[in-house]
Amino acid sequence: GIQVEQSPPDLILQEGANSTLRCNFSDSVNNLQWFHQNPWGQLINLFYIPSGTKQNGRLSATTVATERYSLLYISSSQTTDSGVYFCAVDNQAGTALIFGKGTTLSVSS
Amino acid sequence: SQTIHQWPATLVQPVGSPLSLECTVEGTSNPNLYWYRQAAGRGLQLLFYSVGIGQISSEVPQNLSASRPQDRQFILSSKKLLLSDSGFYLCAWSVHLGTEAFFGQGTRLTVV
């Protein structure tokens, strides 16, 4: 099955710093999503981005489907950005999302 | 707009007791519905998905079952809980298979 690898596993930042999170996947996909899991466990949709580039405020994402990777950029980080960031891609049948192990981000003031 | 409701938020159950977690979606018809589980410190794993009423597919063998009695209702059940059933359970929906998925707030289950 498809493998999803995220890096780095942990990231510690000072408030105001920028960061780049990476997601590599082992096969072609039709769906790629980035999520932020907040301290209460809820998964917040950040981007639905099977290809191309999108921006939403301080966050942006780029997926290069032909090279099987996606990047999530966080600029001017804030303490509220802390949490776990997951990348997920669909399986071959499109019946499930395959999640990476996540990047745990800690932003301190 | 579409919303997804999941309850309860937390649950502590003794080993051997039954389980029923409920998920409902509002604002859409015939959604695809999913149950995922997140073990402590790990990523999410799909347990069940459903493309319509009464249609349930299981991704992994386990002590759990799912049912879809109504179009926008998805229920996760167990007849007898095991300690290994502890975890964070999330319900999700999408318009079609392979399209953007949206998650509920989750249920944190502790089996004691």
Q: Residue A14 sits in a domain of what CATH number?
A: 2.60.40.10
Residue A77 has pLDDT above 80, yes or no: yes
Residue B79 structure tokens: 């007849």
B11 touches chain A (CB under 8 A): no
Structural domain of A100: 4-108
> Are the Cβ atoms of B100 and A31 closer than 8 angstroms?
yes
End-to-end CA distance of chain A: 41
Give CA–CA dist A98/A107, Å, rounded.
27
Query: pLDDT-derived band of residue A85, with 50, 70 and 90 as boundaries?
Result: very high
Q: Is there a contact between B57 and B35 (Cβ–Cβ < 8 Å)?
A: no
Count of domains forming chain A: 1
Q: Which residues fall within 8 angstroms of residue B39, CB to CB, at 6 or more apart?
A: B45, B87, B88
Residues of B in contact with A100 (CB under 8 A): 43
Which of B43, B98, B102 lies closest to A30 in CB terms?
B98
Each residue's pLDDT tens digit, A32-64: 999 999 988 999 999 999 999 999 999 999 999
A60 touches chain B (CB under 8 A): no
Q: What pLDDT score was predicted for residue A69?
A: 98
For each of chain B's 112 residues, which pLDDT tens digit applies? 889 999 999 999 999 999 999 999 999 999 999 999 998 777 899 999 999 999 999 887 789 999 999 999 999 999 999 999 999 999 999 998 888 999 999 999 999 9
Q: Domain B3-111: state its class.
A: mainly beta
